[in-house]
Amino acid sequence: MDAPLFEFKSLCSEDTFLLGRNFVKNLGNNQVICLHGNLGSGKTLFSKGLISSITNNKPEDILSPTFTYVAEYEGTKSVFHFDLYRMKSSEEFEKLGFCDYLYDKDSLSIVEWPELIVDALPKNTCHIYIDYISDTQRQIRAFQGPKK
């Protein structure tokens, strides 16, 4: 794998949230961000920080769309927040028309649990890996381009 765009050691959940809020500075148009990590690693917390910085939604109003697959938020750009934990196949993703969201030139898509759809992702997708260090600490690394 290529060198990371950045590496960050989160010492607490607030650090992970703030990293998400500040990540907006690195975004371009038609950006797709995939979040990788175990259950409870902080993917949704990172998403809350990022989405709240773009849309001015309160973080407590931003929930992971586990049962609906996608939530849409409006702000300086449209944000589509996907949670594919319950999705069974890439065909289901395509059948629901979600591939179109990934290529919307004026939006941001955040995808939790993207493993099923790696072949559908744009080449410039940003992959963020959130790994456990301890109960409160996480190692967060970001890479640009196809998942390797």
pLDDT in tens, 108-127: 999 999 999 999 999 889 99
Mean pLDDT over 14-33 rounds to 85
pLDDT the model gives residue 148 = 52
> 30 or 135, which is more confident?
135
Whole-number pLDDT of residue 30: 57
Give the number of other Cβ atoms within 10 Å of residue 135's Cβ.
6
CB burial of 70-96 (b: ≥16 within 10 Å; e: otherwise) equals bbebeeebbbbbbbbeebeebeebeee
Q: What is the mean pLDDT of the chain?
A: 91
Please write down the HEC assignment for all residues of 92-112.
HHHHCCCHHHHCCCCEEEEEE
Q: What number of CA atoms fall less than 13 Å from residue 110's CA on the CB side?
A: 29
Q: Report the sign of the C-alpha dihedral through residues 95, 83, 62, 144, in that order.
A: negative
State how far the Cα of 94 lies from the Cα of 36, in Å rounded to an integer. 20
The whole-number pLDDT of residue 105 equals: 84
pLDDT tens digits, one per residue of 46-92: 999 999 999 989 999 999 899 999 999 998 889 999 999 999 999 99
pLDDT band with cut points at 50, 70 and 90 for residue 147: low
Q: How many CB atoms lie within 10 A of CB 13?
A: 13
What is the structure's pLDDT at 1?
53
Q: Which residue(s) pair with 32 in the sheet?
A: 109
pLDDT of residue 25: 78
User: Is residue 10 a contact partner of residue 100, using CB atoms and an 8 Å limit?
Assistant: no
Copy the structure tokens of residue 35: 């979040």
